[in-house]
Every structure is written in structure tokens, then in C-alpha cells.
Amino acid sequence: MTACGQQYTGRMNLILFGPPGAGKGTQADVLAARFSLAKLSTGDMLRAAVASGSPLGATLKEVMEAGNLVSDALMISLIRERLRHSDCANGCILDGFPRTIPQADALDAMFGQEGLALDHVIELKVDDAALVARISGRFSCAECGAGYHDVFKPTRAPNLCDACGASTFKRRADDTPDTVAKRLAAYHAQTAPLLPYYAAKGLLRTLDGMADIDAVSAAVLAVVSPS
């Protein structure tokens, strides 16, 4: 449904940008549910590969726990394959991709080949100092993946997932202070240069990611809702 209550029928593709802990995953979930879009989180895809226990997963685990970026070639082939799934028929939200200029160039080429348009690029701007507090408190349901935070978004009932009722939760191995510092450095060095890239295309909107979750969702929906 649109903000004014009509059924959304168009196709929409968008990118959510922001440093680790900015709230991209949370807002991607809101958008995915509202517009029936596929959420393509490269971090989630990589964590699934690590959990599978494959030899590639073992290599990825090392790279991710060191706070470094995975190779462009691997990330590009992962997204190329994922974009072909039928759940992308209504469009998709890219969360965590592209993260480098070569990834952005490859995405441009892929969209061109598939006849797809990139409609919105939304940056969630958050102070580095706030990110460490945000990241250190986050956890998710081990069963359904619903995301929570010790302070900002606790479960409604103690130790029970709001979404599925499970009572086992997990924390990311790369959410430690040292790794977060490295991930932030990678964001500023390799990913932030993409902001002028999309600004030059007239696609970039920067929103205050410091506001509370509902206020950020309202701002995001105002950007993407068809008028």
C-alpha cells in the first residue's frame, strides 16, 4: 500500500547506504514488507555462507571477522545471481551493496543489461560515536532473524522473539569494538566515496539516521512513496 492507502503496483529498486549500525537492515525490513520487495543484504548472504561450513565460508569468516571487505568479484557474482530470483519481480532493496566503486559500476551494468532502473539511493547518516553503542547492543532471533537491540529495541516479553516466539538469540561475531572500528574505517575509505557518485546521478537522498526507528522509517517512506 502507498502512504495514501493505494495498492503499490510499480517496480522499485533502491539502495540503502550507511555505516555499520546505521539501521539499514531495520529500514530494509520495513520497506520490504510495505512494498513487497526483496531485501538483498549481502552481509546476511555472507553470514549464511559462513554458517554453511563450506571452505568458501571459512575464508569469508576470516575476512569478515577482521573487519575487511570481501572481494568485488565474489560480491558482484553473488548479486548478479540473486537479482534473477523471482522474489525480485517487484524490485529490491540493496542493503550492504554496492560498497566500492567497482561494485557500483558493475551494478549499473547489470541493471542496464536487465532493463532495470535504480529509483532511489538513501543514505542514513549517523555519528561514528553513536554507532559503537548501537552495534554493541544488537542481537537477532536465531530462528527467524528478527533484529533487536538491548536498549533501543528490546523484545516485548523478556527473552522471547516478538515475531516467532523463539527464545534463542544470537550476536554477530564481527560486532566487537575492534572489528567495528575497522568496519567503520572501511566504510569511510571505500564506501563513502560512492555518495558523490550517486549524488551526481541525482539519486541520492540523505536522511538523519540518529532519529528513533519510527521517525527514520517515516522519512524513508516519504522519499520512496509514489505520490
Contacts with ligand AMP, residue ranges (CB under 6 A)? 20, 42-43, 46, 63-64, 67-70, 75, 96-97, 99, 103, 174, 183
- List the catalytic residue out of 34, 99, 134, 201: 99
Measuring CA to CA, which residue among 155, 210, 214, 204 is closest to residue 16? 204
- List the catalytic residue out of 39, 47, 61, 183: 183
Residues forming beta bridges with residue 207, ordered by sequence position: 124
- List the catalytic residue out of 24, 39, 61, 134: 24
Specify the length of the chain in residues. 227
Is 47 labeled as catalytic in the residue annotation? no
* Angle between helices 128-136 and 177-186 in degrees, nearest 10: 140
Is 205 labeled as catalytic in the residue annotation? no
User: Least distance in Å: CB of 28 to ligand AMP?
Assistant: 10
Is 138 labeled as catalytic in the residue annotation? yes
In a 3-state reduction of DSSP, which class is residue 94?
strand
* Angle between helices 42-51 and 72-82 in degrees, nearest 10: 100
Of the pair 12, 40, the CB lying nearest ligand AMP is at 40
In a 3-state reduction of DSSP, which class is residue 90?
coil
**Which residue's Cβ has the minimum distance to ligand AMP?**
43
User: Least distance in Å: CB of 71 to ligand AMP?
Assistant: 7
Is 99 labeled as catalytic in the residue annotation? yes
* Angle between helices 42-51 and 55-65 in degrees, nearest 10: 130
Of the pair 63, 146, the CB lying nearest ligand AMP is at 63
User: Least distance in Å: CB of 135 to ligand AMP?
Assistant: 9
Of the pair 43, 91, the CB lying nearest ligand AMP is at 43
Of the pair 69, 161, the CB lying nearest ligand AMP is at 69
Of the pair 68, 206, the CB lying nearest ligand AMP is at 68
- List the catalytic residue out of 39, 47, 61, 138: 138
Neighbouring C-alpha atoms within 13 Å toward the C-beta of 111: 18
Question: CB under 8 Å to 11, separation ≥6 — which residues?
Answer: 89, 90, 91, 116, 117
Is 82 labeled as catalytic in the residue annotation? no
Q: Could you list the active site residues?
A: 24, 99, 138, 171, 183
